[in-house]
Structure 1
């Protein structure tokens, strides 16, 4: 028979104070209620059109690609650039460029398409990856790629976040010159 420890030998653990859940807001009051935000349009895909003169810079940087299994993301937008004025922002996932699917494309191919085009029509959607997955900020993404595929399908970072599938077992160091 197993010996039991006296109750006094267990450590004392202090739990945080109970925090009540927010009050339920009836549907007819939600539109004007200060604690309720139903604005999801910022996360819907949108079209951004850029015209680039020969030899000009795009005004933004990208990260990701097929090797990382996370899609192509805007990692930096230069302030006051055409890209900034057109509405591109850090955290936008590039869905397509000039009708070429960017959700499963090699990084080098994506760069080639963006650099050679004079007029760029991009389908993007905003996804604040650093707020949803702090462990997978772009600083992490630019130095690591997934070494083994988790059981869920990693079509894009938003899917990864929404499914809660963050059981990546092995990560391998990738060249910092992404």
Structure 2
């Protein structure tokens, strides 16, 4: 007896659109090339701590969430705000806030206790683990309208 599944019964899987890789730069030219940055520490996760008095604004906006499959990102930082002084920048991916994992969280849908906006609005002291990830941030901006 043949126990193989017929070909037509396999699930259909849609792959993401192909993206061309960046142009290749020979290793001996990378140190002097303006488009190549050897300083990778800017992409490492870091902790940003903010204190927010009642009624105060956060000083930044977010976009994205579970639906985008790319995460939550800082989309705007108000100049001279506490968030700006703390080092937040557009393109930072929010990995966690007050020990709540933000990598698979809804932007602003129910249940309220698990949405990014509600967590950020209700906290008085915010400890954020972020990383600068402009590649996924720009992919998300192309995919979504906010």
Q: 1:107 maps to what in 2?
A: 107
When residues 56 and 46 of structure 1 are mapped into structure 2, their CA distance, relative to the original with a 3 A threshold, is same
Q: What is the root-mean-square deviation in Å for CA atoms of aligned residues?
A: 2.3
* CA distances 1:32-71 after superposition (whole Å, capped 9, x unpaired): x544742100000000000001000000000011122111
Q: Which of the residues 121, 126, 140 maps onto 2:132?
A: 126
TM-score by length of 1: 0.58
TM-aligned CA deviation for residue 142 of structure 1: 3.8
CA contact (8 A) 1:64 1:141 kept: no
The match for 1:52 is: 52
| Number of aligned residues | 114
- Which structure is larger by alpha-carbon Rg, 1 or 2? 1
Give structure 2 stretches of 5+ with no counterpart. 1-24, 109-114
Q: Is the 8 A contact 2:48 2:87 kept in 1?
A: yes
From 14, 24, 31, give the equivalent of 2:28. Answer: 24
Q: TM-score, normalised by structure 2?
A: 0.69
Structure 1, unmatched stretches of 5+, are 1-20, 144-175
Report which structure shows greater RCO (CA 8 Å, sep ≥6): 2
